[in-house]
A = this chain, B = another copy of it.
Amino acid sequence: MAGTKFAYVKIFELPDPLLPGTYILVRLDGHGFHRLSQDHDFVKPNDERALQLMDHGARDVMNEFKDIMLAFGESDEYSFLFRKSTALYNRRQAKILTTVVSLFTSSYVFNWPRYFHSLSLKYPPSFDGRIVLYPSAKEVRDYFAWRQADTHINNLYNTTFWALVQQGGQTTTEAHSTLRGTVSKQKHEVLFSRFGINYNDIAERYRKGSVLVREKLTAADASGITERMPVEDDDPEGGAGGTKEVQSEKKNKKPKIHAQVQLYHCDIIEQAFWDARPYLLE
Which residues in A have some Cβ–Cβ distance to B below 8 Å?
A: 1-3, 6-15, 17, 19-22, 28, 31, 60, 84, 94-95, 97-99, 101-103, 105-111, 121-136, 139, 142-143, 145-146, 149-150, 152-153, 184, 241
Measured in the bound complex, the distance between the Cα atoms of B49 and A87 in whole Å is: 36
Question: Which 9 pairs between the two chains have the least Cβ-Cβ distance?
Answer: A3-B149, A106-B124, A6-B146, A135-B135, A123-B241, A110-B124, A109-B109, A103-B126, A102-B126
Number of copies: 4
Contact A126 B109 (CB under 8 A): no
Closest Cβ of chain B to A7, distance in Å, is: 6
Residue pair A129, B98 in contact (C-beta under 8 Å)? yes
Q: Which residues of B contact A123 (CB under 8 A)?
A: 110, 241
Nearest B residue to A92, CB-CB: B130
A135 to B31, CA, bound (A): 30
Q: Are B22 and A135 in contact (CB under 8 A)?
A: yes
Of chain B, the residue at the smallest CB distance from A125 is B106
- 23 residue pairs A–B, Cβ–Cβ below 8 Å: A1-B153, A2-B152, A2-B184, A3-B145, A3-B146, A6-B145, A6-B149, A11-B20, A12-B19, A12-B133, A12-B134, A14-B17, A19-B22, A31-B99, A94-B97, A95-B128, A98-B101, A101-B102, A102-B105, A102-B128, A105-B126, A111-B124, A123-B241
